[in-house]
Structure 1
């Protein structure tokens, strides 16, 4: 809340899509407590509620509810419908994904472009629940729903395919492109997923490497929780930036 208020104090653009989306999320939070008769005056004042309500006009916050059938209804549609239909899902059923399906997913994801077609990516598929739990404990970004996660994909890139110091960041570029294609491939095969950040201190990175037996040449890019979703679930709205905030045109 303080950062959103600071945004206004410092004179930044109050029509910015992400600022207004943040205000809309808080407005949804306030509305939920009001609807359920829960008092929150001890953590936020009426003036603050009015502040966030004012800047959230025209925006929707909170979550989107789905059932399985609706969520995957565009998984085989044209790219425009397909792309906007994918969301990060954090609630999974007990049903496991078989090896044959995962191989099909990886095969499709492997169409991702890479510098000079080097294709340095590797994927480790973890199915042992005790090991999944250990990896998630190290990653620490899915604590509230980790119990439902039964399977993980760990995406790495082999640094040995890059030949000079000027290609240092290509590990992350190629790895990031592959992760995006992998997420789309999972969605195409009607598998839910959430990509988890791996910006970790060296000692945590080393701990994961030892735990799952990674080669020293492999750089961890992302840990992806995967599974078939539960019948009814919600996902964050995750407002996308307006095109005007992304595109720069030079005539």
Structure 2
């Protein structure tokens, strides 16, 4: 631990597994006090053994639940919005329910968290908001990711809007845009794709083949970037879309 986030308070959603878990662990390792939430509270087990962590179950699509949760957290220096869902399919596979759920979880959940905490962050003198977007958004097209891409592009717009509106009041807001990352979510997509291409091993190879670096990224690599964006080292950085995709978008 180098203490890059020593004395800072961080609020992290979807911290039970994958990127969210890696970021929460990295924040703790760097000295932050972390309020970690997840839809499945059991997945947060063990975080409190790594540092000062307050863990709680939270459905970020439930407005009342979010309000109640935020009332119990300290004013953060860092808000990391990670909750999201990857819908598979084209416009022809996206019904009203899939569209509404994707935007509710991928975009509106961030709106709820930001709207609930931003006034306090402003009173506190500022802070860093980090939103999870994707290279598959307004940056890189991916097949069969219709509503996912639409919602993640919206996250980029949301991020830039927050950044420009509050740049003079101590608030920084940036989006992380990963490529293909090892995670339980990816495992699920590989298993599903494997049903149609001849097995999970072949499906995984297809994901690797599209990466110019010849490998899939790790959640820890995303966490390193999140630590930078949450720390004072990035004090001059706001409104950006931070690509971390192994060259996929080149």
TM-score (norm 1): 0.25
Larger Rg: 1
Which one has more relative contact order, counting CA pairs under 8 Å at least 6 apart? 1
TM-score (norm 2): 0.25
